[in-house]
A and B are shown apart, each in its own frame.
Chain A
Amino acid sequence: QVQLKESGPGLVQPSETLSLTCTVSGFSLTSYSVSWVRQPSGKGPEWMGRMWYDGDTAYNSALKSRLSISRDTSKNQVFLKMNSLQTDDTGTYYCTRDQSILRIEELFDYWGQGVMVTVSS
């Protein structure tokens, strides 16, 4: 069955770099796109960026200067790296799959459980 699982450090020092991995199973990264979505505590979700099935990427312009998304299809993994972390980057980080490459069917249909990231010294 389709599964996504985020992994990475729970605590990051201010100004340091966050590295997260999304390991997927049950589908191919060359057939489905994967996005990263984060949610600060008590706030609404924020779309961070997307790794398209064809290897292209799209980023939230608010984060683009700090964010990089890559993948290793042989390991079924999508990576997120974000530098210069600050306290307001604290929150839960999710990876999620797009159910279709067709825009009218676009939907985040499967999600990982999320990983809580705290930015603190």
Chain B
Amino acid sequence: QKEVEQNSGPLSVPEGAIASLNCTYSDRGSQSFFWYRQYSGKSPELIMSIYSNGDKEDGRFTAQLNKASQYVSLLIRDSQPSDSATYLCAVNNGANSKLTFGKGITLSVRP
């Protein structure tokens, strides 16, 4: 059973702080990794993807991947109240784009 684990939440940070969201996965054959954001009552939307070890930056978001430790994280710099949402980690082992999702962590950014 392929598993994706995320920190139990919720996570609360003040506006302007760095939010750090973590995820571990069990399948060493996993090839691609994703962070989806889901606002309350809405559908998930892709915000970051990462395929190789290291960091990938996109605006205020940085995804970090360490395949040896089977660990992927998302850093949100200068957090804004609009970042308040549930963040889902997803992992793809390459078979038919079937993603395994974590349970998600709810982030709350306090003004």
Query: Is B truly associated with A?
Result: no
